[in-house]
Each structure stands twice: as structure tokens, then as C-alpha cells.
Amino acid sequence: MKKTAVLVGCGAMAQGWLKAIFETPQLRNRLKIVALVDLSEEVATQLSEQFELSDVLISTDLDQVLKQTKPDFVLDVVVPVARFEVVRCALKHGCHVISEKPMANNMTQAHQLVELAADACVSHSIIQNRRFITGIRKIQQYLTSGVLGEISAIHCDFFLGPHFGGFREEMEHVLLHDMAIHTFDAARFISGKQPLAVYCQETNPAGSWFKHGASANAIFEFSDNCTFTYRGSWCAQGANTSWESNWRIMGSKGTLIWDGFDQLEAHLINDDQGFIHSSITVNVSGDVVEDETLGHASVLINILNALAQGDSPETQSLDNIHSLEMVFAAIKSAETGQRVLINEESQ
């Protein structure tokens, strides 16, 4: 039987969620949207028309809709500042929650939501879709296999210039809070290491069309003497990187390079003689499961499968909160100009 879901927040990203649900056979037959909720009834109605959802309830009142429909899931695609109240309301009604990233607007709210979900005995997971793509899955497998040796450094460059309009252009710390979490989360995932501390410098460069924090440079200390650096900008005009970032990963046996698109190769040391030791270039291939490479659809599949089997979803809030800790520690460092320790007790 299909699980029922109420989708809250019917803006740009909600279209991505509905496309993922209706265009993915592994989801289409498992989830039924019963209501669309938005601050604007008109926006919710437009979304229902776009996806020909003629039998769904349209409303601006989430609490009332949840009373009426008693869904299995609430799909939360609202703007970050509205997330806490929406998720709190869903958990109060005993619904499983799947939220867009970032999971909360600050760490206090994030911890409260984790506790509320545990008290309600329901699942609370986050759409961290950029770890569910082929490149990241292959890299994770490759590093886990040990071919690259001990990982000592991960370097990421992210340079794009998107003109979104909307909430992002008014947001504080926009790059760190709304985007960098994808790369931070992916670095945690591929390395399997714990973030311990960070120093971050943040600017809003000349010519920026964002109100605050469109660029950031962060140096994270990971466990096992591993360094993760992030250089990013959302107002970089020209010579753009991919949305996944450009990656250089250094191991004791070589270096892995990923351009964030199709170029993914390892340069492995094959000679221990001479001034600069020579290396061979090999493709990084892996036995990647297709269901884990579909972005949003994969996160949803992972959550539904986990719940059906009584397991924990990969992006459950209990895990995702550690990626969020990286974001807020970087923000605190940028604000104070100090190196900031990342809470080891909660890991």
C-alpha cells in the first residue's frame, strides 16, 4: 500500500521533489501526495495544476491539514527560516518527516528537532541529495578500498555565479548556510572522518548580488590528521566549477582528482626512485548501485527502504546534524575570527 504524504512549501524545489516522485518507478508506486500546503494558496494550486494533482487538498494551514489527512509523511520544502515550526508541527502529529537541507536554522533548533523526533518515535531525515550521485559514491568506495592509502587532505573548490532571486539574496551567511553543507557533508561521507575544528574567513565580495556572505574559505581539521579545505563563492563570474565542486584528495599512495563532472581519476605512485616519484593515472571505477545515484530520488528511496526494513536512513537527522555542525562552526569562526572546535561529544 502507498504511504501518504503532505508536501509543505510549494516553491521551486518542490517541483524537483514531485518530479523525482512521479518520474522514478521506485517511488511512484510507494508515495501518494494527499495535500499541498503553502503560505500562498495560489502557489500551491499552481503546483497541483502543473503536476495534474486534481484530488489533493490545497491549504495554507498545515496543522489543520494534518488533523484532517493523518499522513504517514510530511515532506518539508519550505525556506530555511520556516523549517523549525513546520517540522515541529509535523512531529507533533506523529508524522515521519523528510526535510530539505539545511535541517535547521541554528544548532539549538537542530538538537530540539532531533529530540522531538525521538520522543515521537518517528523518522526525521534530510534531503542531502549531493551525496547520492555517481562521482561521490565512486570516490567513497575507492577511498574505503584503501588504494589511495591514508587520506591526509581533501581540497574542494566551488565557484559559481547563480542569480536565484528570492530568499537567498537576503540571507545571512548565504554560501555557508544554504550551499556549503552539500560539500561539507560529502567530505564527511567519502572520508568517514570526524570534523574536529575549523577556521573560516567569509566575505561578500565587490559586485556581489547577495546581501551577505557569498564567499567563504574554510580549513577544517578532521580526525586522523586529515585536513579538509573549502574555497567557495556564489558570485564567481566566469570559469565556473561544477555544483559538486572540484576535488583533490591526497593519500599516502597517490592523489585523486575529480572535476565534479566526468573526469574522475587517481594518480598512483608506481616508482619510489628519483626526485619526483612517477605515478600512473587510473580511472576510478566502482560498483555503484544505480538507485544511489539519482539525487533527490535516491534520498527518498533510501528513506523508504530503510523504514520498510526497520533500519535508519543514511541521512537521518542524527547523522546529518554533524554536517550542520560543520556549517555553524564555520559561521562562528567567520564571525569571531577564531578557530572553532566542533562538538566532539555529539559525534
Ligand X SMILES: NC(=O)c1ccc[n+]([C@@H]2O[C@H](COP(=O)([O-])OP(=O)(O)OC[C@H]3O[C@@H](n4cnc5c(N)ncnc54)[C@H](O)[C@@H]3O)[C@@H](O)[C@H]2O)c1
Contacts to ligand X by CB under 6 A: 8-14, 37-40, 43, 77-80, 82, 86, 100-101, 127, 129, 166-167, 178
Whether cis (ω within 30° of 0) applies to the bond prior to 102 is: yes
CB nearer to ligand X: give 157 or 178.
178
CB nearer to ligand X: give 169 or 265.
169
CB nearer to ligand X: give 63 or 344.
63
For the bound state, the minimum distance from the C-beta of residue 267 to ligand X, rounded and expressed in Å, comes to 30
For the bound state, the minimum distance from the C-beta of residue 76 to ligand X, rounded and expressed in Å, comes to 8
For the bound state, the minimum distance from the C-beta of residue 62 to ligand X, rounded and expressed in Å, comes to 6
Among candidate residues 77, 80, 81, 107, the one with its CA nearest the CA of residue 331? 107
CA distance 329 to 122: 28
CB nearer to ligand X: give 61 or 271.
61
For the bound state, the minimum distance from the C-beta of residue 11 to ligand X, rounded and expressed in Å, comes to 2
CA distance 67 to 77: 20
For the bound state, the minimum distance from the C-beta of residue 77 to ligand X, rounded and expressed in Å, comes to 5
CB nearer to ligand X: give 82 or 268.
82
Cell numbers for 110, please give them. Answer: 537542530
For the bound state, the minimum distance from the C-beta of residue 37 to ligand X, rounded and expressed in Å, comes to 5
CB nearer to ligand X: give 80 or 213.
80
CB nearer to ligand X: give 42 or 271.
42
Cell numbers for 43, please give them. Answer: 502557489
Among candidate residues 262, 293, 267, the one with its CA nearest the CA of residue 280? 267
**Residue 27 corresponds to which amino acid?**
L
Phi and psi at residue 5, to the nearest 5°: -145, 140
CA distance 75 to 86: 10
For the bound state, the minimum distance from the C-beta of residue 296 to ligand X, rounded and expressed in Å, comes to 7
Phi and psi at residue 209, to the nearest 5°: -100, 5
Hey, is 197 helix, strand or coil? strand
Q: Which residue is nearest to ligand X (CB)?
A: 11
Burial of 154 (0-12, 13-18, 19+ CB in 10 A): buried
